[in-house]
Amino acid sequence: MSNLRVGILGLRRGRTHVRNYAYLDDVEIIGCADRYEHLRENVREVVPEARLVEEYDELLAMEPDAVVVATNGRRQAEHSIKALRAGCHVISEVPGAFTVEEAHRIVAAAQASGRQYMLGENSAFWDFVRYFRKWVVEERIGQVSYAEGEYVHYLPATLVTPGNERTTPLQAREEGLTDLPPSWRADQPPIQYLTHELGPLLEVLDDRVTSVVCREGPWWQEQAPLRADAQTALFQTAAGRMIKITVSLNTQRPHPHNYRLMGTLGSLEWFRHEGFCRLNDRDMGVQDGWKVYDIGLAAPDDDTTTGHAGADLKTAWYFTRALLQDRHVPIDVYRMCDYTVPGILAARSAELGGQPISVPDIRTGPRRGTEFWNHVPLPDVEPEPWEYHPPTRNGG
């Protein structure tokens, strides 16, 4: 295959994908599909030679090599399976599947078709994740026994306007809009939207989840009353580690992403509001504070204009390279299940008041380790750290 012929489904979130795939060499966007005319018109200047169609079947009739599924989370599985059965490779937006049954069906469709499926989890391609992996492999913090991820992203726009835009209940009342249907996120258990946090941690640790318990807070947010304000899950992994993930889509807090690793010889942290890595490693004492590295979402040479500090473009690039080189994709259909199914079952645990639930391995053979780092290189060098000492009261 000398170039990849791509079709893109869903042009709200998919507008970013149109821009990024148009940017790549050896990619031809042959068609884009969306039922809303204004969303099709929004991409016309970017891909003037592509066919812009209303229906998904019209897009599949063009026989693309690969389809980018950028539709809402409740239809991603349906659309991915349809593309696989049509003989197309697939890269899907997160969460990829909304139920465990959907995850099974996607796996079966990928196996039957012989085509590749990739979950487009962009957070795994952030630059600090590479350094986390490097330091874990080097055992800079010893053996990691515990990890945390936190995603607090205020998303109150849970109603859909006739033009397929999102609005809040308050805005709808102020504008006199009535009988607006809820968006797919409106009643989504927040812990099901955990792949931005769990995915990178699983890649850093080369691990998978085996069981979960989850509890939830109240449903007090008036702008999104159909989902709990927050849910926290504790996951046990195949390697015996514990991972804690908290997700809230109802809390007004800036900078949603936080990550932490705790090992036998130190700790490692990255908080979005700080934008740098903190490391207390095996060569430091507990009282020595932190080494701080100016490592954030993007590497120095990344194009940060392409969405999520360049991670969207990297996701597209690695998917494209894998297919053109006839290699396994970095986040395959089984790894999608590792990222997504734990959140689905965490929501079920919360419904049951925190009952422990086993998380199945949906693979049809033994897990052989992550494919991710066969594509994404670890850093050869790291920047010089600077010492960080948090302020104390009265200088003590």
Task: Give the number of other CB atoms < 10 A from CB of residue 16.
Answer: 18
- The CATH number assigned to the domain holding 32 equals 3.40.50.720
Query: What is the per-residue pLDDT for 388?
Result: 78
Residues 104 and 173 both lie in one domain: no
Helix (H, G, I), strand (E, B) or coil at 71: coil
Give mean pLDDT, residues 312-332: 98
Residues 158 and 179 both lie in one domain: yes
Alpha carbon distance 245, 343 (integer Å): 9
Residues 128 and 240 both lie in one domain: yes
Residues 39 and 91 both lie in one domain: yes
Residues 186 and 285 both lie in one domain: yes
Find tokens 């095996």 and name the residue.
282
Residues 111 and 182 both lie in one domain: no
160 φ, ψ (degrees, to nearest 5) = -110, 125
Query: What is the per-residue pLDDT for 340?
Result: 98
77-87 pLDDT per residue, tens: 999 999 999 99
Residues 129 and 271 both lie in one domain: yes
Residues 92 and 129 both lie in one domain: no
Percent of the chain past pLDDT 90, that is, above it, reads 92
Alpha carbon distance 15, 112 (integer Å): 30
Q: What is the CA radius of gyration of the chain?
A: 21
In the predicted model, is pLDDT for residue 396 greater than 70? no
pTM of the predicted structure, to 2 decimals: 0.96
Q: Which amino acid is at 279?
A: L
Total domain count for the chain?
Answer: 2
Find tokens 């968006």 and name the residue.
183
227-262 pLDDT per residue, tens: 999 999 999 999 999 999 999 999 999 889 999 999
Confidence of residue 387 (pLDDT cuts 50, 70, 90): confident
> Residue 81: inside a domain, yes or no?
yes
Give mean pLDDT, residues 87-105: 98
What angle is formed at CA 370 by the lines to CA 296 and CA 348, rounded to 5 degrees?
A: 85
What is the span of the domain harbouring residue 360?
124-300+333-388
Task: Give the number of other CB atoms < 10 A from CB of residue 165.
Answer: 13
Residues 189 and 80 both lie in one domain: no
- The CATH number assigned to the domain holding 269 equals 3.30.360.10
